[in-house]
Structure 1
Amino acid sequence: MVQRIDVHSHFLPERYRAALAAAGHSKPSGMPAIPEWNVNEHLDMMDRNQIGSAILSVSAPGVHFGDNAAARDLARYVNEEGAKVAQEHPQRFGMFATLPLPDVDSALRELDYAFDTLKADGVVLESNFHGIYLGDTRFDPVFEELNRRHAKIFIHPTNPHCPCCQVQPKGENAASLPPIGYPFPMIEFMFETTRTVFNLLLSGTLVRYPNVQIIVPHAGATIPVLADRVTGLSPALGLPEKLDSSKFMASLRGMYYDLAGFPLPRQLKALLEIADPKRILYGSDYPYTPEPLVTGLAAQLDGSPELTSAIRADFMRNNALTLFPQFA
């Protein structure tokens, strides 16, 4: 079996789990509970599922719960914990650093520390930080530095920041649900990813900062089915320069996409309409996706008649080696 490289893999060290609960996120994004996590169980899961290496990241809702100083401290903690795991298991783990955005000055300091001292493999950026989406000019200093470093950016969706999503559900299970009444990862995460990726493109951020390498989660979310609509309606935006449809699609094709979630039987077909097959990567989403589901989803990919053995090997491992050659 090909030893997969997992680019969408989360970790929750103890102090981070406690901080989530203290900030009111004991049912993060409407999911039943904060997952349990430790490095030995993660390694055991990897071994059972032919995952040779994994890049660890913090998932939604990140580390900023309203207080800049607390976010700086928590970002430093999770980054040092992630780096410690990667240093102790250099062939098994890498780490995407967390930044305490929307505090830009603190994020820049943490970025320098993460790359220069902790040797992070890249950064994880949530789709929005208290309502500020990627592509907003307020984040330009961060993208300028990431561009200078030719950094890898793993995008992860987080809770939507909009009034229409804040209607509190009713009923006996209401307390376990987010405001809109069902877990955000079910639907809203897909639109969070789509919104922030299109904002990066339409704002010209990726033209200004062309050296960053973007990894889009969950098989491109709804990007493949909305890309033509976005380009077709773009003249109504009054952009300074007319959107060039071919360049827009080339930008989408230049991104990387992970297969976390449910890419089969339908979503992968749509993704391959816009993505370069050499830029599709494996992702488990463990431990937010529990191991039995990780195993089942991987088995679907392994057994799909739509994937040749060569393409499957590219998706599971070979493509990731262009970004993370240390795992060769």
Structure 2
Amino acid sequence: MLKIDTHSHIIPEHLPRFADKFGYGDFIHLDHHRPGFANMMKGDVFFREIEANCWDPQVRIDEYAQFNTQVQVVCTIPVMFSYWAKPKDTLELSRFLNDQLAETVANHPKHYVGLGTLPMQDANLAVQELQRIKEELGLPGVQIGSNINNINLSDSQFDPIWEACEELDMCLLIHPWDMMGKRHMEKYWLPWLVGMPAETSRAICSMIFGGIFDRFPKMRVNFAHASGSFLATIGRVEHGFNCRPDLVAIDNPNNPTNYLGHFWVDSITHDPVMLRYVMNKVGANRVTIGSDYPFPLGDLTIGELVDEMALPPMEHEFLYSKAALEWLGLEASQFLD
């Protein structure tokens, strides 16, 4: 059975020194300090160590084969978004990353699908790059952050991007980044354990309450990490909508539960009971296998949790590939011999 991992990250093996080129900023660069490993550096500050499976396409294919997974949807590491930079510089960085991504896909078309990145802080430049990603690079969608320099995705400045996504038939993966409250909870890895789930819920609530799904109903959106804390707190969200519509329903009169099943989420829950709950809420046809590969907080035994749940064949098929193909707007035949 075709198996597609819809959430994984990749980075070019060699990055230009963008900080030197642009003359400012803590742009990421790689320090290849030992064979098969590199330190990701934000300026002079260590961010994390990565291995060759973060950049080597064949290493990744071999590792995925251990889990009978043929196809990886790959996108940049969120720290690379660089929305804080001058828009033209983020555009140049995005173009570099997108070109590298397209080359990987072109060299391994049976194994890779690429999602580009955009200079989201400038809608005109973002739309320009979105068109290039579609028309020149042939990628089916993009990955964006859960907020753009602390501006929620419901803000009207992003409407041209959503409109372009519809017109170009491009899908979206929304990934948490730049977590709220990060500076106040560094200890215990809380930005990743608490902030990331909250960021994804922030993005979903913003888009629902801001009426984004109503104004752009054809836009296909997948939210990382099984929606973060959104589905786990949908009862509270709905209750808030009902009890304080003067605060919550000011831009959209529709109950937030009406949107369950409108968007996709990945399967990264690390808990079969929670994954079953997620499937019950949005439907198996809106859940895609995800791993967050190759990072340790991900579900790196790709699809094993789904296998252990002994799901009915139809649900298995949705999670393995059918839900992903519908979200991506692709056909299974392009990956099969």
Q: Distance in 1 between matches of 2:85 and 2:179?
A: 16
Q: Distance in 2 between matches of 1:273 and 1:89?
A: 35
2:111 is aligned to 92
Q: What secondary structure is seen at the aligned counterpart in 2 of 1:146? A: helix
Q: Distance in 2 between matches of 1:25 and 1:95?
A: 29
1:302 is aligned to 307
Q: 1:165 aligns with which of 182, 192, 197?
A: 182
Shift of 1:249: 2.2
Q: 1:48 aligns with which of 27, 43, 66?
A: 66
Identity level (%): 22
Change (3 A) 1:131 1:35: farther
Residues 219, 267 of structure 1: 8 Å contact kept: no
Residues 81, 145 of structure 2: 8 Å contact kept: no
Q: 2:219 aligns with which of 200, 203, 212?
A: 212
Q: Distance in 2 between matches of 1:67 and 1:105?
A: 14
Q: Distance in 2 between matches of 1:259 and 1:238?
A: 28
Change (3 A) 1:122 1:25: farther
Q: Show the 5 A alignment for 1:236-247.
A: 236-237=246-247, 239-240=249-250, 243-245=253-255
Matched, 1:18 2:17: no
* CA RMSD across the alignment: 2.3
Q: What secondary structure is seen at the aligned counterpart in 2 of 1:215? A: strand
1:174 is aligned to none
Q: 1:132 aligns with which of 125, 136, 151?
A: 151
Q: Distance in 1 between matches of 2:268 and 2:94?
A: 24
Residue identity opposite 1:39 in structure 2: P
Q: Show the 5 A alignment for 1:226-245.
A: 226-234=233-241, 235-237=245-247, 239-240=249-250, 243-245=253-255
Matched, 1:76 2:86: no
Segments of 4+ in structure 1 off by > 3 A?
Answer: 22-26, 238-242
**Could you tell me the TM-score, scaled by structure 2's length?**
0.82
2:264 is aligned to 256
Q: 1:57 aligns with which of 64, 75, 97?
A: 75
Residues 5, 73 of structure 2: 8 Å contact kept: yes
What is the count of residue pairs matched by the alignment? 305
1:324 is aligned to 330
Change (3 A) 1:289 1:226: same
Residues 261, 284 of structure 1: 8 Å contact kept: no
Q: 1:202 aligns with which of 195, 200, 209?
A: 209
Matched, 1:110 2:120: no
Change (3 A) 1:150 1:251: farther
Shift of 1:97: 0.9
Change (3 A) 1:136 1:62: farther
Whose relative contact order is higher, 1 or 2, with alpha carbons under 8 Å and at least 6 apart? 1
1:39 is aligned to 57
Q: Distance in 2 between matches of 1:310 and 1:209?
A: 29
**Stretches of structure 1 lacking an aligned partner (at least 5 in a row):** 170-178
